Structure 1
């Protein structure tokens, strides 16, 4: 079944709702138990640290594809900016949930300097990100994290749909 085209009303409504959604995406860092002095035990990672780390890595990879596509085809920069801004905001929220984790820096991908190929690379990247975030929703033990990941999945799905219906 073909996807319905996005109307101007839907796009404007999404743009107006984005600040509300992003402000709702907030995870409190897990409370750390105080170790008795002299204890050499290493603290256990938060319950969902692996899920957060996987999604953070996926977001970083998606951002690198967006940047590569924008550099490869400069006319795509304006089109891809909202997607990159959403990913950056989501990355900031998730990185704050596990403050001691290092943010991954993936190697920049190679994107063909043709608009259709660059858009296809971005669509594939966004589809992969969506799949990985949905998996994170299912694997999350924390309800707060699952809700944030669901919000990220919804945002990514919306951007993917918008990229799929654009005529170049």
Structure 2
């Protein structure tokens, strides 16, 4: 069943009403007037951030081990390492005491280097997704969602490169 044809009146009316409707939608909470002092993040978020930082550090160490064992992977893995470094910078501000060095460097052989990176990225993705769901702070959830999106994009690029 075909819909009604779009008339000029309908198009103009829609164009005028849409901004008014969208103005009522606000992703971010309204800014405070400074009436209340900023509160510290919930303690459960500190543990969550520490676990995400640990997962990022582990994933970064796997990338480093992979590039050491298979130097030809360096150009392909460099954007991923750069993204992880940026994510760590953001998260370390929230939990300055978090460990940023892995306890033992992973062993990655050259033939399995890319597969090891893919596995590490999938583990990281699961950890950060869990963090998005468990975060008590909306701001933290948004930051973690951004990290999930970035990690998923890089994981997809790694998977696409395997097929090429």
Q: Deviations over 1:24-82 (max 9, x none)?
A: xxxxxx756xxxxxxxxxxx973410100000000000000000000000000111000
Name the CA distance, whole Å, in 2 between partners of 1:158 and 1:106.
28
Cross-structure match for 1:123: 118
Cross-structure match for 1:49: 46
TM-score if structure 1 supplies the norm length?
Answer: 0.70
The unaligned stretches of length 5 or more in structure 1 are 1-29, 33-43
Name the CA distance, whole Å, in 2 between partners of 1:103 and 1:31.
26
Name the CA distance, whole Å, in 1 between partners of 2:92 and 2:85.
10
Q: Which has the larger radius of gyration?
A: 2
Of 98, 105, 127, which residue of structure 1 is paired with 2:102? 105
The unaligned stretches of length 5 or more in structure 2 are 1-37
Cross-structure match for 1:78: 75
Name the CA distance, whole Å, in 2 between partners of 1:106 and 1:85.
21
Number of positions where the alignment pairs a residue of Structure 1 with one of Structure 2: 126
Q: Which has the higher contact order (CA 8 A, sep 6+)?
A: 1
Show structure 1 runs of 4+ deviating over 3 A: 44-47
Name the CA distance, whole Å, in 1 between partners of 2:76 and 2:98.
31
> Are 1:166 and 2:127 matched, yes or no?
no
Cross-structure match for 1:151: 146
Asked whether the equivalents of residues 60 and 81 of structure 2 are also in contact (C-alpha less than 8 Å), the reply is yes
Report the secondary structure of 1:111's partner residue: coil
Asked whether the equivalents of residues 54 and 99 of structure 2 are also in contact (C-alpha less than 8 Å), the reply is no
Asked whether the equivalents of residues 56 and 124 of structure 2 are also in contact (C-alpha less than 8 Å), the reply is yes
> Are 1:61 and 2:58 matched, yes or no?
yes
